């Protein structure tokens, strides 16, 4: 495995490596550990063995964080099949540009190594590995009220472009980001409760984009701008 970064977690050194098909058993083991620790198993859409294999077989990119020989975290990008469910269509990306879209896929951190910001560190590293001569866009989906994942996407500058049912009638925010363009400018802002699905969908139809989130009086809101 190729080491592409390294650092220290408190006093524990780690290395970030490019994963290959040989690490499939370690990836599955870590994913099972993460799922077992979730209070709500529905917050995570795990990758199947076939989906992991597809990414590792030159249809994306996956990095892993190692402490000695143990895989403690991984993050993946997927080069998706262009089909009717392609997220680029939900984001208004032109048909001819769909081959230039990557998906941010699953990000897993062992419960034993939370609190070190590994998800954010992995995001910075894996986004730095993208071939900008091939790809112009990143897309991703997140379940409403999955606060850690939503914060992760907003922290990278991804914007909400859709809110609809995906993956067999599961409600998801659809995020996107242009990789080689300046940040958009906005002149109008509205904040809606994250639980107000219909209101958010109406704003999205009107051309608003979700740009950030905040908590107020125990409820989460999304700020939409255009």
Q: Tell me: the pLDDT tens digits for 153-199?
A: 999 999 999 999 987 788 999 999 999 877 778 999 999 999 999 99
Q: What's the confidence (pLDDT) of residue 43?
A: 63
Tokens of 84: 């009717």
Cα–Cα distance, 64 to 109 (Å, whole number) = 10
> What ranges do the domains of the chain cover?
3-181, 186-226
Distances (CA, A) of 27 to 21, 43, 120, 156, 178: 10, 19, 19, 24, 29
Q: Which CATH class is domain 3-181?
A: alpha beta
Whether the CA torsion 82, 88, 92, 96 is positive or negative: it is: negative
Give pTM, 2 decimals: 0.88
């Amino acid at each position: 495995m190729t080491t592409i970064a390294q650092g220290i977690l408190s006093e524990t050194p780690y290395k970030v490596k490019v994963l290959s098909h040989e690490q499939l058993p370690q990836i599955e083991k870590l994913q099972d550990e993460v799922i077992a620790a979730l209070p709500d198993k529905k917050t995570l859409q795990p990758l199947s063995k076939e989906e992991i294999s597809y990414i590792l077989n030159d249809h994306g990119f996956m990095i892993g964080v190692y402490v000695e020989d143990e895989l403690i975290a991984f993050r993946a990008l997927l080069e998706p099949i262009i089909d009717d469910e392609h997220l680029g269509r939900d984001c208004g990306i032109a048909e001819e540009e769909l081959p230039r879209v990557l998906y941010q896929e699953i990000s897993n951190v062992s419960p034993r190594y939370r609190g070190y910001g590994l998800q954010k560190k992995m995001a910075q590293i894996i986004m730095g590995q993208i071939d900008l001569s091939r790809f112009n866009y990143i897309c991703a989906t997140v379940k409403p009220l999955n606060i850690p994942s939503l914060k992760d996407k907003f922290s990278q500058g991804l914007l909400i472009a859709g809110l609809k049912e995906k993956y067999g009638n599961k409600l998801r925010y659809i995020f996107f980001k242009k990789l080689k363009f300046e940040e958009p400018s906005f002149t109008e802002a509205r904040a809606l409760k994250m639980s107000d699905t219909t209101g958010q969908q109406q704003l999205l139809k009107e051309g608003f984009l979700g740009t950030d989130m905040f908590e107020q009086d125990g409820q989460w809101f999304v700020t939409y701008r255009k």
